[in-house]
Each structure stands twice: as C-alpha cells, then as structure tokens.
C-alpha cells in the first residue's frame, strides 16, 4: 500500500458534518424571501460546488429568479454568523488528524466553501492540526479546477508526488484527477458508495482511522 506524506482534505462531508447548518441557512434565505424551503436531504444533494451553486439549486429557477440575489446574500450573511451552531467533526476525525500530525504528515484543507467560513471552521475545530486552509475566493478557480489544490501544495512547499486528495463527492474525484493525484473517497459523507462508484471512485474508507493505513 502506497505511503502518502501529504493529505489534502475536503471539508464539508469529509472532516465536518456541516449539513444541518447549511440547511438552516438555506432555509432562512428562502423563507425570508418568500420562497419554498428545502428538506435537509435535498440540501445535501445541492452541496459540493460552492454556496452560489447551492443557492442556484435551492431557489426555484436558480439565478433567473428575481429574488435570487437577495436570497444568496441572505444565505451568506446568515451562514457567516451561524456556521458553527450544529456543525461538528465526524467521529474519529480529530484523533486521525492528531496521529497524522504526530507522524509528520502534511495536512491541508481545500474547500468550495467561501474562504472566511473555511478558515474560521478550520481554526476553530482543527487548530494545530491543519496547516493550510483554502476556500472559495474570486482570485482562484474553485474545485474541480486544480488551482486550489496546487495553491495548497505551494503553501505547504511540497510536491504532488506523495500527495493524496480525500473527499466525499464527485467534485473531489474530479479535482484529484485534474491535479494528477490519487483520490480516497470517504463513505460517511454526503454521497453514497453507489453514487461515488458511478463517478469514478476507486478507493474507499468507511472510518477515519482507515486513512492511517496509508501511513
């Protein structure tokens, strides 16, 4: 089994269970603009491509709806204030990251969540464990473009030769492919094994501690 020295993690559905806060902010934005609300299960299928795409999927007719911009702004404001209300690390994540750190592994997070939320969540939950946290911002293309992973590797000052991407979605699989690095798909996140297989996943873990087998 190949040994990896650098682990690039997705955030939502991989390290953190964020779905209840995402759904709460989505429904706040919809409700305050007189739009129909979504179930948590529906919101779970909408995430992965950034918050704008989430709201395009949640708002009827997407960004063609005259209320879209107001709903999108309401989501961003509400989520920036409430992104830690219900969010928690998945069981075993903290211990897994601590063991990786103690073994000298390099650890980064690359997310399509907007930058300030990505940074604040990583600082709050993973202080001293995650070296680099990169979220969506205007100056860099978001996943599945390789740019944010390339930037994480640059900030870590490592090559991609011994790096792996760990995520829970089809976006993560495509991101890893676009970067030319392997992808490990987790099965505790927002997508099923069958969905991931249909989008090209080849390697799975069912529990965070299984990632340590690649050490």
d(C-alpha 214, C-alpha 75), whole Å: 38
Task: Report CA Rg, the chain.
Answer: 17
By the 10 Å C-beta count (0-12 exposed, 13-18 middle, 19+ buried), 116 is classed as: middle
What angle (nearest 5°) sits at the alpha carbon of residue 41, between those of residues 54 and 8? 60
Q: Are 55 and 68 in contact (CB under 8 A)?
A: yes
Catalytic residue annotation: 10
Question: If DSSP codes are grouped into helix, strand and coil, which group holds residue 129?
Answer: coil
Strands (DSSP E) found in the chain: 6-9, 16-17, 88-89, 106-114, 132-136, 163-167, 183-186, 204-205
């Amino acid at each position: 089994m190949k040994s990896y020295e650098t682990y690039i993690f997705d955030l939502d559905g991989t390290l953190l269970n964020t779905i209840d806060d995402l759904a709460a902010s989505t429904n706040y934005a919809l409700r305050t603009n007189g739009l129909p609300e979504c179930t948590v299960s529906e919101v779970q299928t909408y995430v992965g491509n950034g918050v704008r795409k989430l709201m395009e999927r949640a708002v009827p007719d997407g960004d063609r709806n005259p209320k879209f911009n107001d709903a999108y702004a309401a989501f961003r404001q509400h989520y920036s204030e409430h992104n830690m209300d219900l969010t928690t690390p998945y069981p075993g994540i903290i211990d897994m990251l601590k063991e990786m750190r103690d073994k000298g592994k390099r650890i980064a997070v690359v997310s399509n969540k907007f930058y300030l939320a990505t940074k604040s969540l990583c600082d709050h939950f993973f202080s001293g464990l995650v070296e680099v946290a990169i979220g969506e911002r205007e100056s860099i293309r978001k996943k599945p473009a390789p740019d944010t992973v390339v930037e994480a590797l640059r900030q870590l000052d490592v090559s991609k030769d011994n790096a792996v991407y760990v995520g829970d979605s089809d976006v993560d699989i495509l991101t890893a492919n676009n970067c030319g690095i392997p992808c490990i798909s987790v099965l505790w996140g927002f997508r099923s094994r069958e969905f991931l297989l249909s989008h090209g996943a080849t390697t799975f873990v069912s529990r965070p501690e299984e990632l340590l087998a690649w050490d």
